[in-house]
Amino acid sequence: MKRLPNLIITSGDPAGIGLDLCVMLAFKKFLANITIIGNKDAILSRAKQQKKNIIFSNKLGSHLGNGELKIINLDYKNPVVSGQLNKSNSLQQLKGLKNSIELCLSKKFDALITLPIHKQILSSKKNKFTGHTEYIADICGHKGNEVMLLSNKKLNVALASTHISLKDVPSKITQKSLCTTISTLHHDLRKKFKILFPKITVIGLNPHSGEGGEFGDEEIKIIWPAINKMQELGISLTGPIPADTAFTPKVMRKTDCYLAMYHDQGLAPFKALTFGKGVNVTLGLPIIRTSVDHGTGLDIAGSNSIDPSSFFESIKLAISLAKNQY
């Protein structure tokens, strides 16, 4: 009998669409054992809004899509209202995220799928919460090694920097950081995605990749030397190529994964080409983590306007990555 991947899903900020997606999951079949970490009453309430009947079960085995959900219950101190953030409830969900990471580190689960949380409500004056990617890396003890990858069957885009202001990007791009990112990216494309000889296309930071230094010299001083160094180690790298021609069909056909220098440089074309079918993956971790390619959707929480496509794709990819590790 083939082993079923064992997945854990965090239900996201309770004010957002994460609870709606959990309800939708109850009626979608997957060949995996799936457990949600969230609040039973909140999920039942959201199911009532959707006019769905769900039950909770502790049965192990394939997720049948018959209205049953397996759940690790989290206690919320305050009532959950669709679209209305509550800091206490959000902090409880963050504790659930920490618990789920630890369960994956202890090998009780094969992969973690995260639904969206709200960065602002989790931040304080002392501690800025920058997102799942950085938080999970910190809990795993791999902070600084994490790489954010957006993945689709047709396109993979990794980022050299993540959730920082655009004005801070140039100072964050160094030869050392690029070499670390490229090394992690190459390793995980081979080991987790089973792409034996990944071809990585590096995008320049400046317009026209600097035009020989006319529009910035980061390509000359930082990006080119990092590429050359990693090429000497046998990694297949092309670039730095201008961002405005990076995602043409000709280049895409020759690319297994892009490396963009900053968030919107990579995610804008990725989402334009794949939105609803993209998956966020964190590389450089000792666990598998996937997520949706969208936010909390506070304005549509509890409505009939929610598309579960990215969520279901994130589960499919988690199953695939988990099987690749067997």
Chain segment 266-293, per-residue pLDDT in tens: 999 999 998 788 999 999 999 999 999 8
Tell me: cis bond preceding 207? Omega within 30 of 0 counts.
no
Q: How far apart are the first and last CA of the chain?
A: 14
Residues 276 and 297 in one domain: no
Question: Is residue 315 a contact partner of residue 24, using CB atoms and an 8 Å limit?
Answer: no
Assigned token pair, 11: 């239900």
Residues 314 and 242 in one domain: no
Residues 290 and 321 in one domain: yes
Assigned token pair, 140: 């795993």
> Which residues fall within 8 angstroms of residue 200, CB to CB, at 6 or more apart?
182, 185, 186, 189, 235, 236, 237, 238, 255, 256, 257, 258, 259
Predicted pLDDT of residue 163: 84
Residues 294 and 197 in one domain: no
Assigned token pair, 95: 């504790």
Q: Which residue has the tokens 């506070």?
A: 298
Question: Is residue 145 a contact partner of residue 137, using CB atoms and an 8 Å limit?
Answer: yes
CA distance 8 to 180: 29
Q: How many domains does the chain have?
A: 2
Of 205, 201, 295, the closest CA to residue 255 belongs to 201
The angle, 0 to 180 degrees and rounded to 10, between the axes of the packed helices 175-191 and 224-231 is 40
Assigned token pair, 187: 């390793």
Assigned token pair, 203: 């995008």
Residues 36 and 99 in one domain: yes
Check which CATH number belongs to the domain holding 158 and give it.
Answer: 3.40.718.10
Assigned token pair, 201: 């296309």
Report phi then psi at 308, rounded to 5: -85, 5
Q: How confident is the model over 161-214, as pLDDT tens digits? A: 988 899 999 999 999 999 999 999 999 999 999 999 999 999 999 999 978 888
CA distance 285 to 278: 20
Predicted pLDDT of residue 151: 96
Residues 81 and 198 in one domain: no
Assigned token pair, 200: 């990585």
Predicted pLDDT of residue 1: 52
Residues 137 and 13 in one domain: yes
Residues 197 and 211 in one domain: yes
Strand order from edge to edge, sheet including 257-260: 55-56, 68-73, 33-38, 6-10, 111-114, 289-292, 279-283, 147-151, 156-159, 257-260, 199-203, 236-241
CA distance 55 to 80: 19
Residues 37 and 91 in one domain: yes
Segments of the chain with pLDDT less than 70: 1, 125
CA distance 311 to 294: 9
Residues 90 and 159 in one domain: no
Of 81, 16, 4, 6, the closest CA to residue 36 belongs to 6
Per the structure, the complete domain to which residue 173 belongs is given by 147-280
Residues 104 and 218 in one domain: no
Residues 76 and 181 in one domain: no
Instruction: Write down the pTM of the prediction.
Output: 0.92
